[in-house]
Amino acid sequence: MSAPPPLVGLSELRAELDAGRTSSAQLVDRALERAEALQPRLRSFIGLRGESARAEAEQADARRLRGDPRSALDGIPVAIKDNMVQRGEPTTCGSRILEGFVSPYSSTLVEKLEAAGAVIIGRTNMDEFAMGSSTEHSTLGASSNPWDVSRTAGGSSGGSAVAVAAGIVPAAFGSDTGGSIRQPASFCGVVGMKPTYGRVSRWGLVAFASSLDQIGVFARDARDAALLLELISGHDPRDSTSAPEPAPDLRASLDGDVSGLVLGVPREYFVSDGVDPEVLARVHAAIAELEAAGAKLREVSLPHTYTAVATYYLLATAEASSNLARYDGVRYGRRAEGAQSLGDMYVRSRTEGFGAEVKRRILLGTYVLSAGYYDAYYRKAQQVRTLLRRDFDEAFAGCDVIVTPTSPEVAFSLGSRTEDPLRMYLSDVYTVSCNLAGLPGVSLPCGFSDGMPVGLQLLGPPLEEGRLLRVADAFQRRTGFHSERPPELA
């Protein structure tokens, strides 16, 4: 099956729709056909909603013809990660244990997308329960990188990154617990933004690690990311950790002006050890470009960076071990056959239902919280988390935005890391601190190494998404990396 041409950015699609050159029904058809045509190569979707999506597209067309569109996103095809529930639709989190589960309620994200008229065409591939950096821990199998199908798309929100990078949809949504939006965005050459913790409601996002999970967006460029983020942000009384802030006006800050803005370059992030020198070179070049645009550079220090990965894996696994206890085969999802007792039913259902990486993290987390180890691990990690937060407070006293690589390397070959989970964990070094400190972070394409995209990461103080997008937009006004397309799929 030959794929229809890729869908471009949001503003272009909007313009085509408004000019009557296309319809929502056509766009959604194109997206669905392209998704299906590319699925054997990319495996970016776990499920598509062909019929419902087409029906919703027709309704959007009717609204547009009446002159009554719901928003700039009305009638635009989008994709959500398979851990955000939608009423009447399955949600599997890439896990066998949620086989057969159909949600009776919708996430706040889905409600907001529906209210905006966006057409959700399907649920994207992910590492099981968002635990992983490659989507290799998905029952579906790993998504492939559109730039080189032998390589990973990154993870855990790999399917969403691929869906945007491959031009299936102009916008997709993911969740980021330790880099699960930014790293795949970096690997796939798209913009991926994790907002401040609490900015986007977690209601209906299947929890991995509640204190770190945050929903964010994948888009072609900073401008589209701003529009999407405005739409999904805002206080939600159903999420007690939701920030009591209205949705920000992000597009207003996209004026291309970064003169006088101080970019902090954390010295601990620019050590040569364990980092691809080509990646460092591209990031340095990007920083130089921003300096040329008028930004100032200042070296800053985040002295506790060396503790971040360990702290992250202690806290994330502890929370996960508890969050995943509800998958017990009692009320929904998979229940093993032939159990001899209640305990046997639990053990068999969970043994069959969870994959190896999820089991590894449940066991780690259970250990971290167990009596006798709680103080040494969980409590200590919470204390270190406070130190990491303080590092950022102090750094932001001297700069406006922190710039770093998103990942120490470009997308690695599929299968090259599965036998070495520790190495996989260590590659999260640049992304996890942002979650531990609850900060907003964005990854944007800043060049290529070995033909693969390199990501520049921008980190900001809490609630300063606008500042990050301003810098990203200014960079994209001066460069063309975000417009590059995977050659194989062009």
Partner 1 sequence: MSEGHPRYDVVIGLEVHAQLCTESKLFSPAPVAYGEPANHCVHPICLGLPGVLPVLNARAVEFAILAGLATHCTVQLHSVFARKNYFYPDLPKGYQISQYEEPICTEGWIDVVVEPGAAPRRIRLTRIHMEEDAGKLIHEAGAAGSDGTRVDLNRAGVPLLEIVSEPDLRSPSEAAAYLRTLRGILRYIGVSDADLEKGHFRCDANVSLKPRGTAELGTRTELKNLNSFRFVEEAISAEIARQAELHDEGTPVQQATMAYDPHTSRTRVLRLKENADDYRYFPDPDLVPLAISAEQIETARASLPELADAKCARFQSQYALTAQDAEQLTESRPLADYFEAAVAAYGLAKPVANWLLRDVLQALGELELGIEAARLAPESLAALIRLVDAGSTNAKSARGLVKELVANGGDPAALVHERGLEALSDSGELEAAVEAVLGEHPDDAEKFRAGEKKVLNFLMGQVMRRTAGKADPKAVRELLARKLGA
Q: Which residues are catalytic?
A: 81, 156, 180
Interacting residue with partner 1 among 44, 103, 135, 406 (CB under 8 A): 103
Q: Which amino acid is at 63?
A: R
Is 203 among the residues that bind partner 1 (CB under 8 A)?
yes
Is 101 among the residues that bind partner 1 (CB under 8 A)?
yes
Q: Tell me the Cα Rg of the chain.
A: 21
Positions in 146-185 near partner 1 (CB under 8 A):
none
Q: At what angle do helices 50-65 and 24-42 cross, to 10 degrees?
A: 150
Please count the residues of this chain forming the interface with partner 1, following the rule CB under 8 A. 45
Start-end of H helices in 92-221: 108-116, 158-165, 182-188
> Are residues 120 and 57 in contact, defined by beta-carbon separation less than 8 angstroms?
no
Interacting residue with partner 1 among 330, 363, 376, 490 (CB under 8 A): 330
Nearer to partner 1, 185 or 320 (CB): 320
Q: How many whole angstroms separate alpha carbon 28 and alpha carbon 54?
A: 7
For residue 64, the minimal CB distance to partner 1 (Å) is 31
> Strands 171-175 and 215-219: what pairing?
antiparallel
For residue 428, the minimal CB distance to partner 1 (Å) is 19
Query: In the stretch 214-253, what mask flags binding to partner 1 with x, by CB under 8 A?
Result: -----------------------xxxxx------------
Query: In the stretch 375-414, what mask flags binding to partner 1 with x, by CB under 8 A?
Result: ---x------------------------------------
- Mapped onto helix, strand or coil, the DSSP state of residue 124 is strand
Contacts of 125 (CB under 8 A, 6+ apart): 43, 44, 45, 46, 82, 94, 135, 138, 140, 142, 143, 158, 159, 162
> Are residues 134 and 122 in contact, defined by beta-carbon separation less than 8 angstroms?
no
For residue 85, the minimal CB distance to partner 1 (Å) is 5
Q: How many whole angstroms separate alpha carbon 119 and alpha carbon 57?
A: 6
Choose the binding region for partner 1 from 32-40, 56-64, 208-216, 294-302 (rule: CB under 8 A): 208-216
Is 104 among the residues that bind partner 1 (CB under 8 A)?
yes
Residues that bind partner 1 (CB under 8 A): 83-85, 91, 93, 98, 101, 103-105, 107, 202-207, 209-211, 237-241, 318-319, 321-322, 324-326, 328, 330-332, 339, 342, 346, 366, 369-371, 374, 378
